[in-house]
């Protein structure tokens, strides 16, 4: 059921990464699961690694779970 999970991982942006929100508040732009876990930890989620695949907690929109799109190119 769409819209019931408190955490939403939105579709990948054109430059890579997916916006993460919790109850509508923006937590950040995640480029991988480590970013997602850190955002959830900072938001006060206990054991965030345990919930990222639980649809009662996290809704993955507009793409496959754990697919964050292409990361931005870095100039070296």
Other Cβ atoms less than 10 A from the Cβ of 7: the count is 22
pLDDT at residue 70, as a whole number: 79
Structural domain boundaries in the chain = 7-60
Asked if pLDDT for residue 1 goes beyond 60, the answer is no
Report whether pLDDT(2) > 70.
Answer: no
For the chain, the distance separating the N- and C-terminal CA atoms, rounded to the nearest angstrom, is 44
Supply the mean pLDDT for the chain: 91
Q: Is the pTM of this model over 0.85?
A: yes
Determine the average pLDDT of the residues in 53-66. Answer: 96
Q: Which two tokens stand for residue 28?
A: 């950040």
Question: pLDDT, tens digit, for every residue of 21-50?
Answer: 999 999 999 999 999 999 999 999 999 999
pLDDT above 70 covers a percentage of the chain that reads 89
């Amino acid at each position: 059921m769409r819209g019931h999970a408190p955490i939403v991982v939105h579709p990948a942006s054109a430059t890579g990464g997916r916006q993460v929100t919790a109850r509508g508040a923006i937590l950040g732009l995640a480029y991988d699961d480590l970013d997602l876990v850190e955002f959830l930890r900072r938001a006060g989620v206990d054991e965030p690694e345990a919930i990222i695949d639980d649809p009662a907690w996290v809704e993955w929109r507009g793409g496959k779970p754990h697919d964050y799109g292409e990361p931005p190119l870095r100039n070296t």
